[in-house]
């Protein structure tokens, strides 16, 4: 089972087409900071998509095109016919996941920005997901709830307050009169139709009936996993046992049980005794997709550690270390910074890991090592500009990466709202560049070089790409996700969500 999904095959480059866009900015419209998308995640089936933004909201999308002329889309795919429709999603619901908070002890603001979203096991037609900001993880349940309208109550206006004490009478109903503990008389203060009950007796007691059955989507926070991290949470990951998950911050990784929010186990602690000795922090962590005891975490020094939970309770020593030894002579002042891994992902079969550092994508085989088995240059033309990128802090941007469900391709984002798709199967030279617009392949058409820095507009921070086109460092495509079973990519260009299919 392990690695079957990752069998290498030579394949043709994919032809990407635009599918949909959500939240597209009109020309000239300013982007609201709070609307900028900060997390994207498909669920296991690929029928739902969740996005999180800087304002702490989570928006859910649902696939609509499941049925194609009566035959299910998957059946069509199996028969290798092209579907007449391309994958389409529609907006389903949204909810406010996190609110901004203030840590009074440290006098620090805690941003509500959603750092990561991870889907959990579906149950009973409800969707479950974990969302996290810098400090707190929340477990959300989204479900269609029936809004029941009740009618036919026993009493016209059921009393809102409980009446203290009941006077017990052994009277037969016909002589029953309303009695109150304070001895008040029958003035019908509650519009109680005493005549009704007293005349018809006990047989009139009945149960209220439900009339309307409207449904609406309701999101409820079922659990809050808080106060377990001193530093900013950068990752969460569900375990294959569907019972536990990890959360990782700069120095520690904690193991939680979904049912228990009051405590967690610390399994990795990289905090040195003397903080001045700190040289390396944790940047990303993920559980192996099928081995419930194995997880990987990446560091700011470009290494990935594989740890086995069965070895010991505190897994500070790794069972396997992956890192690339840099060729001597190619080291520069920026080598350390650009080697920091910003994201790691396991392939579906669990045999391979994909990592993203500032300049490249690297593929690692967990059975081999310690170096990567493949390296893809994402935006090599930026290498001469590292100095500028350092000065405007762009060198610290954290790009995400993703693998296709069949393990044959990988994708990651870059600047100017570009994302790149590489073929990672044996012998593949596929390297596609697409822009997050309605016309994704626009960039592949040669355009004459233009001046990019207009006088007085240095703050735009542009740079040259291979074609000499303007390269906008403010439009960075950090977040993207690949559909689990189809060649469909969702990516975020600031506040807009673009979807492409091939």
Contact positions vs other proteins (CB under 8 A): 121-126, 141, 145-146, 148, 150, 153-155, 158-160, 162-163, 166-173, 176, 178, 192, 197, 201-202, 205-208, 210, 240-243, 259, 290-293, 310
Place of tokens 């193991």: 255
Give the length of the chain. Answer: 502
Choice between 107 and 125, CB closer to other proteins: 125
φ, ψ at 8 (rounded to 5°)? -80, 135
Q: Which of 337, 487, 483, 309 is nearest to 398 (CA)?
A: 337
Q: Nearest distance from residue 206's CB to other proteins, in Å?
A: 7
Which residue, 293 or 433, has its beta carbon nearer to other proteins?
293
Q: How far is the CB of 116 from other proteins (least distance, A)?
A: 23
Query: Which is closer to other proteins, CB of 108 or CB of 150?
Result: 150
Please, what is the minimum distance in Å from the beta carbon of residue 129 to other proteins? Answer: 14
How far is residue 502's CA from residue 483's CA, in Å, rounded to a whole number? 11
- The least distance separating other proteins from the CB of residue 155, rounded to whole angstroms, comes to 6
- Give whichever of 186 and 444 is closer to other proteins, judged by the CB atom: 186
Least distance between other proteins and beta carbon 270 (Å) = 24
Which is nearer to other proteins, 150 or 368 (by Cβ)? 150
Least Å from the CB of residue 168 to other proteins: 6
Nearer to other proteins, 163 or 466 (CB): 163
Give the tokens for residue 299: 């560091």
Residue 124: CB atoms within 10 Å: 6
Contact predicate 198/178, CB 8 Å: no
Cα separation, 351 vs 365, in Å, equals: 6
Which of 427, 422, 392 has the alpha carbon at shortest distance from 407?
422
Q: Which of 52, 36, 62, 242 is nearest to 137 (CA)?
A: 52
> Is 101 exposed, middle or buried (CB count within 10 Å of its CB: 0-12, 13-18, 19+)?
middle
If the CB atoms of residues 215 and 367 are measured against other proteins, the closer one turns out to be 215
Dist. CA 137–CA 482, nearest whole Å:
24
Secondary structure of residue 359 in the 3-state scheme: coil
| Among candidate residues 358, 481, 339, the one with its CA nearest the CA of residue 414 | 358
Smallest distance from the beta carbon of 8 to other proteins, in angstroms? 26
Nearer to other proteins, 176 or 231 (CB): 176
Cβ closest to other proteins, residue 146 vs residue 460 = 146
Cα separation, 69 vs 23, in Å, equals 29
Place of tokens 């390296």: 375
Query: In angstroms, what is the minimal distance from the CB of 233 to other proteins?
Result: 25
Rounded Cα gap, residues 308 and 322, in angstroms: 15
Minimum CB–partner distance for residue 467 and other proteins (Å): 50
Outline where 79-159 has alpha helix (H): none
Please, which residues bridge with residue 63 across strands?
89
Which helix (H) or strand (E) segment holds residue 195: the answer is helix 194-200
């Amino acid at each position: 089972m392990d690695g079957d999904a990752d069998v290498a095959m030579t394949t043709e480059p994919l032809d990407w087409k635009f599918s949909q866009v959500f939240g597209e900015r009109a020309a000239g419209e300013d982007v609201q900071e709070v609307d900028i998308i900060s997390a994207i995640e498909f669920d296991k089936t690929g029928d739902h998509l969740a996005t999180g933004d800087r304002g702490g909201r989570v928006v859910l999308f649902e696939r609509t095109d499941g049925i194609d002329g009566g035959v299910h889309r998957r059946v069509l795919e199996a028969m290798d016919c092209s579907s007449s429709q391309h994958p389409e999603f529609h907006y389903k619901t949204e909810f406010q996941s996190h609110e901004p908070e203030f840590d009074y002890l440290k006098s620090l603001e805690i941003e509500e920005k959603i750092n990561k979203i991870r889907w959990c096991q579906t149950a009973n037609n409800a969707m479950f997901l974990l969302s996290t900001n810098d400090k707190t993880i929340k477990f959300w349940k989204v479900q269609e709830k029936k809004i029941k309208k009740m009618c036919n109550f026993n009493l016209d206006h059921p009393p809102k307050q409980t009446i203290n004490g009941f006077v017990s009478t052994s009277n037969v109903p016909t002589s029953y009169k309303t009695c109150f503990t304070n001895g008040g008389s029958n003035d019908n203060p509650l519009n109680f139709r005493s005549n009704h009950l007293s005349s018809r007796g006990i047989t009139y007691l009945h149960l209220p009936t439900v009339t309307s059955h409207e449904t609406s989507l309701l999101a409820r926070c079922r659990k809050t996993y808080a106060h377990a991290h001193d530093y900013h949470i950068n990752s969460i990951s569900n375990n294959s046992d569907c019972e536990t998950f990890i959360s990782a911050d700069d120095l520690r990784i904690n193991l939680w049980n979904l049912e228990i929010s009051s405590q967690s186990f610390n399994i990795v602690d990289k905090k040195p005794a003397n903080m001045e000795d700190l040289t390396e922090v944790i940047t990303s962590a993920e559980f192996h997709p099928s081995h419930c005891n194995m997880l990987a975490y990446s560091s700011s020094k470009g290494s990935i550690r594989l740890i086995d939970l069965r070895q010991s309770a505190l897994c500070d020593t790794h069972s396997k270390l992956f890192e690339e030894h840099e060729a001597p002579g190619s080291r520069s002042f920026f080598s350390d910074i650009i080697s920091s891994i910003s994201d790691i992902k396991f392939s579906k079969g669990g045999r391979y890991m994909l990592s993203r550092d500032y300049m490249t994508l690297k593929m690692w085989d967990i059975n081999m090592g310690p170096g990567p088995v493949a390296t893809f240059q994402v935006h090599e033309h930026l290498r001469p500009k590292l100095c500028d990128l350092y000065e405007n802090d762009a060198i610290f941007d954290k790009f995400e990466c993703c693998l296709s469900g069949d393990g044959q391709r990988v994708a990651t984002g870059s600047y100017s709202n570009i994302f790149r798709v590489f073929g990672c199967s044996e012998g593949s030279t596929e390297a596609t560049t697409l822009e997050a617009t309605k016309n994704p392949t626009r960039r592949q058409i040669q355009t004459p070089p233009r001046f990019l820095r207009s006088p007085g507009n240095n703050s735009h921070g542009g740079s040259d790409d291979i074609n000499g086109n303007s390269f906008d460092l403010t439009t960075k495509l950090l977040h993207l996700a690949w559909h689990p079973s189809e060649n469909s990519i969702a990516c975020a260009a600031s506040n807009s969500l673009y979807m492409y299919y091939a």
